[in-house]
Amino acid sequence: LRRNPGESEFHQAVKEVFESLELLHARHPEYAEAAILERIAEPERQIIFRVPWVDDEGKVRVNRGFRIEFNSALGPYKGGLRFHRSVNLGIVKFLGFEQIFKNSLTGLPIGGGKGGSDFDPHGKSEGEIMRFCQSFMTELFRHIGPDTDVPAGDIGVGGREIGYLFGQYKRLANRFDAGTLTGKGLAWGGSLVRTEATGYGAAIFANEMLKAKGLGFEGRRVLVSGSGNVALYAIEKAQQLGGTAITASDSSGYVVDEEGIDLDLLKQIKEVERGRIHEYAERRGGKARFVEGGNVWEVPGEIAIPSATQNELDGESAKTLLKNGLIAVSEGANMPSTPEAVDLFQEANIAFGPGKAANAGGVATSALEMQQNAARDSWTFEDTEKRLTDIMVNIHDTCAATAEEYGRPGDYVVGANIAGFVKVADAMLDFGVI
């Protein structure tokens, strides 16, 4: 705490992992002897930089850019960039720390990193977004590369921003290094299924947890928060699996649609028009209602896939959900449930999939994009989706088996933390003290 003052989200993420690891350390003192915990919680490198740009009125604006190169024991640093007004060092560090274990769980050769800026894309023009991305990359480009550090999208960074970032990277590096960024457009090195991967993966993970209890999605009410990249495709896959996804939200409130979200309409509003969630209710012909400023977790449902942001689901919301018959939570977002909410879910013995396992489908498919780039190849949608599904099933099974091995059957938090940690820690032991 003294070393990292004011980084509350980072402290929260580290505490949760370290608590799970007490079970591991009791059996394996070699990790403590080599100070793996102290080393793993200290980023290998932290880059903080000025991002100056000119707005449409000709005024000079200054934002702060971050890239935390957290751990490269298993491969190049890999993790997204977040553009949101709330971004600060503690948030980027929590995301980067989680990313280490998530990437390890995918079984693919990627280390952990994360970056972003306190730039707020809401209400900015196309030209402002482009100039900001170009300025951001003008500093970042010297730190990244296909074998060094490979950024991708996150909140506020989607296909459009990756295009501007890659364009500037290519220009500065004078190389077409497709493997330097993932989430690229399909015409210039992107992978099919990357857009869908995180949301699909979170629903697939939920399905695996339900199957382990002899249950399924069929006929169940599914609550999804957010209406961005992860939320849209969590809704799509939940519906393909037979569930009825009835909610979506943004920072202004939520919509409920008892017949099931009309995904074509929601995609049109959010992906094409970049509109707000209330427009969905207005254009659904009286079938949906918008609750301004409301908490989506007050809607009764059985499966929850929180897909907006950290700490969006607190203890009070967890109590309401449990009272309303909740059976499973699969975290599409990173750390959306507060520690109180996680405790309540676990005490109630419902299936709880933590983000580092449940939302790993996005980064896994990014690693598949890197593989396609390295081979100058592109795979079909069906082939890539099959690989994504296999990876999610494997992550589920690894977490379940590890939890069992450590005497905590059904505890996916312990399973994910221990299984993710061991691979990284063993590689660090092999490398000696570095």
Smallest gap from Cβ 156 to ligand NDP, in A, equals 5
From the list 341, 282, 277, 351, the residue with the least C-alpha distance to 312 is 341
In the bound complex, what is the minimum distance in angstroms from residue 310's beta carbon to ligand NDP? 6
Among 332, 354, 415, 420, binds ligand NDP (CB under 6 A): 332
- Beta strands 253-257 and 288-292, pairing class: antiparallel
Q: Helical H runs in 49-125? A: 89-105
- Closest residue to ligand NDP, judged by C-beta, is 228
Instruction: State yes or no: residue 153 binds ligand NDP (CB under 6 A).
Output: yes
In whole angstroms, what is the distance from residue 200 CA to residue 332 CA?
9
DSSP 8-state assignment for residue 272: I
Report 251-310 residues binding ligand NDP (CB under 6 A): 251, 307-309
Among 117, 182, 191, 198, the residue binding ligand NDP under the rule CB under 6 A is: 198
User: For helices 412-431 and 89-105, what crossing angle results, to 10°?
Assistant: 90
* Stretch of 137-145, 164-172, 205-213, 225-233 lying at the interface with ligand NDP (CB under 6 A): 225-233
Selected range binding ligand NDP among 44-52, 149-157, 160-168, 318-326, rule: CB under 6 A: 149-157
Which residue in 106, 117, 334, 338 binds ligand NDP (CB under 6 A)?
334
Residue from 177, 236, 250, 257 touching ligand NDP (CB under 6 A): that is 250
How far are the Cα atoms of 121, 152, 218, 220, 227 from residue 160, in angstroms, in the given order? 12, 12, 35, 35, 17
Are the C-beta atoms of 143 and 69 separated by less than 8 Å?
yes
Contact 254, 296 (CB under 8 A): yes
Query: For strand 328-330 and strand 112-117, is the pairing parallel, antiparallel, or unpaired?
Result: unpaired
Single out the residue of 7, 9, 128, 154 in contact with ligand NDP (rule: CB under 6 A): 154
For the bound state, the minimum distance from the C-beta of residue 226 to ligand NDP, rounded and expressed in Å, comes to: 4
**Binds ligand NDP by CB under 6 A, chosen from 168, 182, 227, 330:** 227
Minimum CB distance to ligand NDP smaller for 180 or for 229: 229
- Kindly give the residue spans of alpha helices, DSSP state H, lying in 28-69: 29-33, 36-40
Provide CB contacts within 8 A for 215, sequence distance 6+: 327, 328
CB of 359 to ligand NDP, least distance (A): 4
Show which residues are catalytic.
114
Structure tokens at 4: 């990292």
Amino acid at 326: L
Nearer to ligand NDP, 251 or 380 (CB): 251
Stretch that binds ligand NDP, among 26-34, 236-244, 258-266, 328-336 (CB under 6 A): 328-336
Question: How far apart are alpha carbons 100 and 76 in whole angstroms?
Answer: 11
Strand partners, 66: 48, 116
Whichever of 117 and 309 has its CB closer to ligand NDP, that residue is: 309
> Is the CB of residue 77 less than 8 Å from the CB of residue 69?
yes
Task: Report yes or no: 388 and 365 within 8 Å, Cβ to Cβ.
Answer: yes
Residues 6+ apart with CB under 8 A from 162: 152, 153, 181, 182, 183, 184, 185
Smallest gap from residue 15 Cβ to ligand NDP (A): 19
- From residue 105 to residue 144, the character string flagging contacts with ligand NDP as x (rule: CB under 6 A) and all else as - is ----------------------------------------
State the nearest-atom distance from the C-beta of 270 to ligand NDP, in Å.
7
Do β-strands 328-330 and 303-305 pair in parallel, antiparallel, or remain unpaired?
A: parallel
Residue whose CB is less far from ligand NDP, 21 or 155: 155
> Of the candidates 362, 372, 399, 416, which one interacts with ligand NDP according to CB under 6 A?
362
Please pick, from the candidates 156, 179, 301, 415, the single residue that binds ligand NDP as defined by CB under 6 A. 156
Nearer to ligand NDP, 178 or 363 (CB): 363
The site for ligand NDP, by CB under 6 A, has a size of 22
Note whether 152 and 99 are within 8 A (CB): no
The residues in 22-81 that bind ligand NDP, with binding defined as CB under 6 A, are: none
Evaluate whether 189 touches 178 at the Cβ level (below 8 Å): yes
Exactly one of 189, 226, 301, 415 binds ligand NDP (CB under 6 A); which one? 226
| Cα distances (angstroms) measured from residue 216 to each of 186, 241, 279, 350 | 34, 8, 32, 13
Residue 231 CB, nearest approach to ligand NDP (Å): 6
- Which one of 68, 181, 333, 368 is in contact with ligand NDP (CB under 6 A)? 333
CB 182 within 8 A of CB 370: yes
Q: Using the rule CB under 6 A, is 190 a contact of ligand NDP?
A: no
User: Residue 98 CB, nearest distance to ligand NDP (Å)?
Assistant: 9
What is the contact surface with ligand NDP in residues (CB under 6 A)? 153-156, 158, 198, 226-231, 250-251, 307-309, 332-334, 359, 362
